[in-house]
Amino acid sequence: MWSFVQKKANERWVWFALCRRTRQVVSYVVGPRDWWRCHELYEGLPPGYRDCHSFSDLWESYDRVFPRNHSVEKGAGETAHVERFNNTLRQRLARFVRKTLSFSKLDEFHRLCLHLFLLRYNQSIKSF
């Protein structure tokens, strides 16, 4: 998911890993869209999730970082819950809307606001 700090030229990508069963965010990273940030997302996953089957879009870094059980089928609907989560985030936090007058002035506040939202979001999701 794309966002920015101060001006649109300062892009910040927000990477999420969601549990398919509970829809909770199990790992996230904020930064540029590069393979190293993808690696940080993978390293942030709890050990039990690293060997699970995962789904993503067709970006090549996922194949480079996620070593096994990784599918990249565009249009198969396997990433629909992540896209739905992105919509939820944009609806609840104005600074993540694409065209907005609300934005973060500092990276630290951008990350803190996201972190607080994710804590509340994960607590509000009922585990099965």
Looking at the chain, the number of H-run helices and the number of E-run strands are: 5, 5
Question: pLDDT by residue (tens digit) across 6-55?
Answer: 666 667 788 888 888 888 999 999 888 888 988 999 999 999 888 888 87
- Based on the structure, what is the number of domains in the chain? 1
The residues with which 12 forms a beta bridge, in sequence order, are 3
Range of the domain at 64: 2-124
At residue 113, the pLDDT reads 78
Q: What is the pTM of this model?
A: 0.77
99: Cβ–Cβ under 8 A, 6 or more apart, which residues?
none
77: left (phi over 0), alpha (psi -120 to 50) or beta: left
Q: How many angstroms separate the CA atoms of 37 and 34, rounded?
A: 6
